[in-house]
Structure 1
């Protein structure tokens, strides 16, 4: 048994044991969820499960379903990818069969040519029907040319098909990474990118900043104007934020009306300046309802900024940025608060209490 097989069986046993320990049914969804957790390749999923286990000692079925829907399930994408892989496999198999068949045919033609050449050398003394031999040589040559032309045409068609498959795979991959409503990166892409950039920042000993932002009073937009107008607001905010994000920076829809920006190689001060520039840009434009041209007023945002610390986990970095975000909301909204301001505010509160 290979090492990969051993790992797979070990993960499967761990998943089943965890399901039994939590009291959840061993349904395919629950099994897939715990297998992904045991495999350790979905840090966001593992963080949520570990947090729940630490706090309550269990994971409810409701939470398991929510985690599966948010962080595991991609059936529509998976089906497309499976279909593409199947087409690709069929194409390569057919091409290989043709090459193998053509190779056998060419080998047979070569044997015929060799035999005919031997007979031609002997024709003066023992085989007077030279004309017949020459006709045989011409026939074999024509057959070889036809086989080669067939192979060339098939290779050209296969190359075109492989190119189309590559474009389809790239399109599906890009779609899987985007939020359907706003067109920016989705939560899954954010989780993978943040983990990658954190590792790179640690190895290069460079700063990494994280900005979490939230649209103020977003529920009011939905309740007053309807969800379609709410979607319009989300797209507007995403467009404004995206126009201010450059290079390796990543903008993602974190969830609902929350957005996140990963800023590699960026200090806390510069991240704060960027966040405040975005906040001002969003606030400076009045929105109007598309169908009726009604004035929707202005949109404001609250933002929290944190800087990666040595040896810090992804969950810890997100929690600190989130704490800054909600401190900004408590302080009156429509503002940016970084972790230095947050800590200074916390110390002031402690002294006031004392």
Structure 2
């Protein structure tokens, strides 16, 4: 990989590549279709990629929706988020109308006060009659206004509660959309957002490290024992990584057998220690079938580490950590390598499965 210079080629536009691929295959560029091809692009679900490929170059929307319902039933409902947004908008409209009614009531009450004041200052009636009439008007208007106010307060409280429930529903949609369904870790989409946020703050950039880890010889595991076993191993690896890091560590499955960790407020030495701790614990974790006694292990990780200060931007940071990862692979696997200028990526790995 070339070191960062002012002539560095721009990072590939992932969204443009996916959209181009969809257009070439005659797929409608709507959000739920993009969701499918985005996941296929990441390679995090091999079977999904195969099912999409099996549809050929002219898949119908019904076929795509069937695949979406199969793999993303929890987030691929075409009306779920739209329904929640529409409901929230309706509740807000009701609340605004309620506040308008309150304003109208207060305006009417002010008119009553003005009328009472005019009567009290009038010289055309006896003082006792004026006061009696004015007090009657004010008493009735005040009681009505207070009662209406209490009702509206109760209604506002109820509407606020209903909107909070809807907000929580939308938050849940977002959480699920950013979660890898197999490992329950963050997915690539959430990782991209978290990595970009590193460069929003100078302090965060100065004290953040990125770990990119890949399971060694995982293809052999899948070929030997099958994908169901491979999926269980992926889930276990994710649990081991999560359990051996600080609670504030951001852990994601970024595709296939690859994981990434973003560590904040940390030194380079502490990043390397964290990576080695994960590797050591995983290497000592048994991977056996409790019923048949078949041993699937050992399962090991290769890890690349790069500090945010060594990169120009999120893409550069990920690429450099990835270079370090493949240096670890080339050096024999089951080891941690820190990125250093001058490293080259000779593995030939290419994430760009859709090409123009």
Structure (1/2) with the larger helix percentage: 1
Structure possessing the higher relative contact order (Cα contacts under 8 Å, 6 or more residues apart): 2
Equivalenced residue count is: 294
Show the counterpart of 1:327: 327
Closer, same or farther in 2 for the Cα pair 1:90/1:296, shift >3 Å? same
User: Which residue in the other structure is 2:166 paired with?
Assistant: 165
- 8 Å CA contact 2:324, 2:339 repeated in 1: yes
> Are 2:192 and 1:187 equivalent residues in the alignment?
no
Structure 2: distance between partners of 1:119 and 1:313: 74
Cα separation, partners in 2 of 1:103 and 1:317, compared to 1, 3 Å: closer
Name the counterpart of 2:108: 108
| Distance in 2 of aligned mates of 1:208 and 1:310 | 10
Task: Out of 273-282 and 102-111, give the one that drifted further.
Answer: 102-111
The answer to whether structure 1 residue 287 and structure 2 residue 287 are counterparts is: yes
Match of 1:94 in 2: 94
3-state secondary structure, aligned to 2:287: strand
SS at match of 1:252: strand
The answer to which of 224-233 and 74-83 deviates more is 74-83
1:119 Cα deviation after fit = 4.9
In the TM superposition, residue 127 of structure 1 has moved relative to its aligned partner by 10
Distance (Å, rounded) in 2 between the aligned partners of 1:225 and 1:341: 39
Displacement of 1:154: 0.8
For the structure 1 residues 87 and 218, does the alpha-carbon distance in structure 2 shift closer, same or farther, using more than 3 Å as the test? same
Partner of 1:256: 256
Please list the CA deviations of residues 78-107 of structure 1 after superposition, one character each: whole Å capped at 9, or x if unmatched.
854443332222212111212212322332
Aligned to 1:298, the other structure's residue is in SS state: coil
**Contact residue 199 and residue 205 of structure 2 kept, 8 A:** no
TM-score, normalization by structure 1: 0.65
Residue 255 of structure 1 and its aligned partner are, at CA, apart by 0.5
Aligned-pair distance for 1:287? Answer: 1.9
Q: Deviations over 1:226-269 (max 9, x none)?
A: 32322211111111111222265322111111011223454444
CA gap 1:128/1:247 in 2 versus in 1, 3 angstroms: closer
Structure 2 stretches lacking a partner, 5+ long: 1-14, 34-40, 42-56, 59-67, 69-73, 347-356
Q: 1:235 to 1:341 in 2, by over 3 A?
A: farther
Compute the RMSD of aligned alpha carbons: 4.4
> Secondary structure of the residue that 1:288 maps to in structure 2?
coil
Task: Give the aligned partner of residue 197 of structure 1.
Answer: 198
Write the distance in 1 (CA, Å) between the matches of 2:129 and 2:207: 89
Equivalent-residue separation in structure 2 for 1:318 and 1:336 (angstroms): 16
User: 1:213: which partner in 2?
Assistant: 213
Give the TM-score of the pair, scaled to structure 2.
0.65
Map of 2:315 onto structure 1: 315
1:285-321 deviation line (CA, Å, top 9, x unaligned): 1123366564433311122223445563433332332
Q: Are the structure 2 counterparts of residues 104 and 288 from structure 1 closer, same or farther at C-alpha, using a change threshold of 3 Å?
A: same
